[in-house]
Amino acid sequence: MKKIVIVIAVLAVLGLIALAIILMVGGSYNDLNKLSQGVDYHWSQVQNVYQRRADLIPNLVSTVSGAANFEKSTLTEITQARASVGQVKIDSKTAPTDPAQLQAFDQAQGQLSSALSRLMVVVERYPTLTATEGFRELQAQLEGTENRITVERQDFNQAVQAYDTAVKSFPTVFFASAFGFQPKPYFSAAPGAETPPKVQFDFNGSTTNKP
């Protein structure tokens, strides 16, 4: 009888240990799933603001192209840069897990940002164009969109940091991959990337670039 009691006690202890492990793993899984969904949410927000910028560019090109003697090569450059962004195939709702895929997306968007900045510099030479209501409105919308891009990229990186920290933490690190949770890449920040590019015009004749 004493042996039976000991066996039952041992089984009870093992059962409690197994239950504790199950609860721990289950809780960690739920936490990882919540953090992963948070990353995906912020990724969709990043995609939304980049798409907003892409949608504004055709109107900008159309407005600028009406200026007499405007540098057509500049318009061609920004049109091609926008097309290159569209060629990067990436899920708009699920954050990428492949660093190379995110890098390709980021490089394409960076090329578009550079082309857009050069366009704005060229536009400075056309005060009649910059004084029009249509251009003013587009310039304001683009500036606001650039601000949103910076904010959404930062929010995305913070969400990825929280998720990756959880994936690599003890004891989650031992079973996260078994449930399909892999570390996700960040946007790499270039020097000064925390400040969105701003080009603001003094419509009385001079141009001011603000950092």
Q: Where are the domains of the chain?
A: 2-210
Mean pLDDT of the chain: 83
Residues 6+ apart with CB under 8 A from 132: 63
Domain 2-210 falls under CATH 1.20.1440.20: yes
Question: What's the pLDDT tens digit per position in 111-151?
Answer: 999 999 999 888 888 888 888 888 899 999 999 999 999 99
pTM of the full structure: 0.79
What is the C-alpha to C-alpha distance for residues 187 and 106, in angstroms, rounded to an integer? 7
Question: What's the pLDDT tens digit per position in 144-196?
Answer: 999 999 999 999 999 999 999 999 998 888 888 888 899 999 998 654 444 44
Highest mean pLDDT among 16-20, 58-62, 85-89, 148-152: 148-152
